[in-house]
Homo-oligomer: A and B are copies of this chain.
Amino acid sequence: MSGRVDIIGLGPGAEDLRCPRAAGALAQATDLVGYVPYLERVAEDSGQRIHGSDNREEIQRARLALDLAIQGRRVAVVSSGDGGVFGMAAAVFEAMEQGDPRWRALEVAVHPGVSAVLAAAARLGAPFGNDFCVLSLSDNLKPWGVILNRLEAAACAGFAMAFYNPISKARPWQLGEALARLRRHLPGSVPVIFARAVSRPEEHVEITTLADARPEQADMRTLVMVGNAETRLIPRPGGEPWVYTPRRVGMNA
């Protein structure tokens, strides 16, 4: 049995933001498994078998990958960004734990990538220059009350925040409610950034404030970033401002 599973983070989009290790594992795969739009980004080598699937089919996709590996295939499971941050890594281990005991003996490796949160932060400056947290706003897999509770805890404790899965056709109201909840705990002046498709040709970034942020500024491909009360803007001549969160908290300089 020589099959294996490589869980690969493709990075945010630009070719030169993909790690060589991830690119190498991708090139050596016999089979590519993933969400169709991600596979379209990478599938060039016609010798590879392509197993595309729809969004929200992560567990079936993970089982397919493990099953192909048991058959001796060398399987690349691709995610955008980093596979460990709301990508396929957790789904593969979930499937492994619940499935065929032989899956646990497979050679499996997770190859990290530049996550959307790191790429978007770099694009804007250093919004996560201090403590921060990363949440999914999707209530498909957790109760909405848990999400609101996490938002409030993070806001009150002074974490900056990044939101994956902020909005979709099936989840149209959650982002608006999340922003409203944050307004109870944070000043309206806190910077909010909508960063869509960073590093790709269709990249679009909007910088606003918590008071002015509107859910319509996000779509499925947007990463939303919310500063803490100390996050600052630096005006730039002839350009959008830099956004950064100081490293120092509540002490005199």
Residues in chain A within 8 A of chain B (CB atoms) = 7, 9, 11, 14-21, 24, 58, 82-85, 89-94, 96-97, 104-105, 108, 110-115, 118-119, 121-123, 125-136, 141-143, 146, 149-150, 152-154, 156-159, 232, 234-238, 242, 244-251
Contacts A84-B122, A114-B112, A122-B112: A91 and B247 contacting too (C-beta < 8 A)?
yes
Find chain B residues with CB under 8 A from A126 CB: 83-84, 89-90, 92-93, 110
Copies of this chain assembled into the complex = 2
From A246, which residue of chain B is reached at the shortest CB distance? B94
A9 to B235 Cα, complex, angstroms: 24
Cβ-neighbour of A236 out of B104, B142, B234 (below 8 A): B104
Q: Check A112/B247 contact, CB under 8 A, given A93-B234, A121-B84, A235-B104.
A: no
Residues of chain B within 8 A (CB-CB) of A235 are: 104
Smallest CB separation, A114 vs chain B (Å): 5
Docked CA distance A135–B130 (Å): 7
Contact A84 B118 (CB under 8 A): yes
Cβ-neighbour of A157 out of B19, B149, B250 (below 8 A):
B149
Query: Would A85 and B128 be within 8 Å (CB), given that A141-B248, A142-B250, A158-B150 are in contact?
Result: yes
Residues of B within 8 A of A16 (CB): 19-21, 24
| A105 engages B237 (CB within 8 Å) | yes
B247–A141 touching, CB < 8 Å: yes
CA distance A143 to B143 in the complex (A): 34
B7, B17, B232: the one contacting A21 at CB < 8 Å is B17
